[in-house]
């Protein structure tokens, strides 16, 4: 299977170069170019997914299973995030309801006092004052006091009514949030059931693949195929982005030698250059980490690949300029897309076991002009 250099170059040039001039094009030209790019992407995907043997079909099935699992996990994460946000809002509304209820009780006592005072004064208070007083100045003072008393009474009653309305609004908001949370819990349970089913399908596919790879020669062929596929992708992506100009204020990757943090926390399961099989050695390092834990960019860079690649699973490749790239494979899910810039320490993916890996972990490589570099020379710890 051979990648189409033209397809890869066109795809990357659109995402990484095209938008600058694309914004100046007319709407019709934009739509036409979008359609053309989509066709090229579809063509590239069909080329990547060619099926030539029963093992290829199993690998395609595995890819479909793992992509489905990745989408389900992303949905589950989103629902959990939404539920957390709604839970926090619900607690805030309940605190507001408690404060309003305390205010309501306090105001109710004041209203009761005002009503009792009004009752004691009786009805037609101003007329009684006029009829019972002889001194005009005294009458004027009493009327001013009485007017102030009426305004105060109306303000207290008005505040009380406003508080009751606010309390009713908050109570309705609490009910809505509780109903939404209940629906999200149901959605979460549905996604979890779908995830369990997808994981069972993946395991069945892995069992069939294991039977196909029972012989050492079959396993070796697969390892050679995985390495060759990754190398061709890296080479062609490198050619496609060779003309890109990186920001002048970016710290050169080479100057960070020995200073960068590992992209995930976990023990190293293998050493760079360690023997795997006949003629095959490790060109990167696998970090054993918990599924779902964050994968972080080791240096500022631009995403030049973010998709599924057979043998590597959900893969992210960052271009750091000057021919340097970092590769992050076997991810559970990806959080960045082609063309995005990321800073050192930004989360770009979640640890997983895609690509048919038996255990969760991150497969990590550093390359310079397409050639693998020992990550332990660049990352400390």
Domain count for the chain: 3
What does the pLDDT read at residue 352?
Answer: 92
Domain presence at residue 222 = no
CA distances from 270 to 159, 273, 325 (A): 71, 9, 20
What is the CATH number for 353? 2.70.70.10
What pLDDT sits at residue 337?
87
State the pLDDT confidence band at 363, using cuts at 50, 70 and 90.
Answer: very high
Structure tokens at 161: 């009514």
| Range with the poorest average pLDDT among 44-58, 232-246, 360-374 | 44-58
Q: Is the pLDDT of residue 19 over 70?
A: no
State the Cα–Cα distance between residues 112 and 151, nearest whole angstrom.
16
Q: Give the separation between CA 177 and CA 238, rounded to whole angstroms.
A: 50
pLDDT of residue 216: 58
Question: Would you say residue 203 lies in a domain?
Answer: no
Residue 120 lies in a domain: yes
Residue 118 is encoded by which pair of tokens?
């009004």
Out of 167, 183, 198, a domain closes at 198
Better-scored residue on pLDDT, 147 or 72 = 72
Q: 167 with 278, same domain?
A: no
Per-residue pLDDT at 4 exceeds 60? no
Query: Is 64 inside any structural domain?
Result: no
Structure token pair of residue 339: 């063309």
Question: pLDDT at position 268, please?
Answer: 93
pLDDT score recorded for residue 347: 95
| 110 and 194 both lie in a single domain | yes
* Same domain (yes/no): 140, 265: no
- What does the pLDDT look like over 81-114, one tens digit per residue? 888 887 888 788 788 778 777 777 777 777 677 6
pLDDT at 152 (0 to 100) = 65
Higher-confidence position of 187 and 252: 252
The residue among 374 and 37 whose pLDDT is bigger is: 374
pTM: 0.61
Say yes or no: 258 and 184 in one domain: no
Q: Which domain holds residue 25?
A: 1-50
Choice among 54-58, 185-189, 287-291, 307-311 with the minimum mean pLDDT:
54-58
Q: Is the pLDDT of residue 313 over 60?
A: yes
Alpha-carbon span 226 to 232, nearest angstrom: 10
Render pLDDT for 117-126 as a digit per residue (tens, 0 to 9). Answer: 665 555 445 5
| CA 349 to mean position of chain CA atoms | 9
Span 23-39, pLDDT tens digits: 444 456 545 544 554 45
Average pLDDT, the chain: 76
Q: Is the pLDDT of residue 327 over 80?
A: yes
């Amino acid at each position: 299977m051979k990648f189409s250099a033209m397809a890869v170059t066109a795809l990357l040039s659109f995402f990484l170069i095209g938008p600058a001039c694309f914004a100046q094009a007319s709407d019709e030209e934009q739509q036409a170019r979008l359609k053309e790019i989509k066709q090229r992407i579809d063509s590239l995907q069909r080329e990547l997914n060619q099926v030539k043997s029963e093992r290829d079909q199993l690998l395609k099935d595995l890819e479909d299973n793992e992509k489905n699992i990745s989408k389900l996990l992303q949905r589950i994460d989103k629902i959990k995030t939404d539920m957390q946000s709604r839970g926090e809002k619900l607690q805030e509304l309940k605190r507001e309801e408690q404060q309003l209820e305390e205010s309501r009780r306090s105001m109710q006592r004041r209203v009761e006092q005002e009503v009792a005072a009004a009752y004691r004064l009786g009805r037609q208070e101003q007329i009684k004052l006029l009829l019972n007083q002889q001194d005009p100045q005294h009458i004027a003072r009493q009327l001013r006091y009485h007017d102030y008393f009426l305004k105060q009474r109306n303000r207290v009653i008005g505040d009380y009514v406003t508080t009751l309305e606010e309390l009713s609004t908050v109570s309705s908001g609490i009910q809505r949030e509780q109903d939404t949370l209940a629906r999200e819990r149901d959605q979460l349970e549905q996604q979890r059931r779908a995830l369990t089913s997808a994981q069972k399908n993946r395991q069945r596919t892995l069992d069939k693949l294991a039977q196909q790879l029972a012989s050492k020669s079959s396993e070796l062929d697969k390892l050679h195929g995985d390495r060759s596929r990754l190398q061709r992708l890296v080479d062609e992506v490198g050619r496609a982005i060779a003309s890109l100009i990186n920001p002048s204020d970016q710290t050169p990757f080479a100057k960070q030698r020995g200073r960068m943090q590992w992209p995930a926390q976990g023990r190293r399961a293998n050493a760079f250059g360690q023997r795997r099989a006949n003629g095959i050695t490790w060109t990167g390092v696998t970090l054993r980490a918990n599924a779902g834990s964050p994968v972080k960019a080791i240096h500022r860079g631009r995403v030049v690949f973010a998709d599924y690649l057979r043998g590597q699973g959900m893969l992210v490749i960052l271009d750091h300029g000057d021919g340097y790239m970092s590769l992050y494979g076997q991810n559970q899910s990806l959080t960045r897309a082609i063309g995005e810039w990321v800073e050192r320490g930004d989360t770009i993916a979640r640890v997983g076991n895609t690509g048919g890996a038996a255990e969760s972990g991150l497969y990590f490589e550093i390359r310079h002009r397409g050639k693998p570099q020992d990550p332990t020379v660049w990352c400390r710890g």
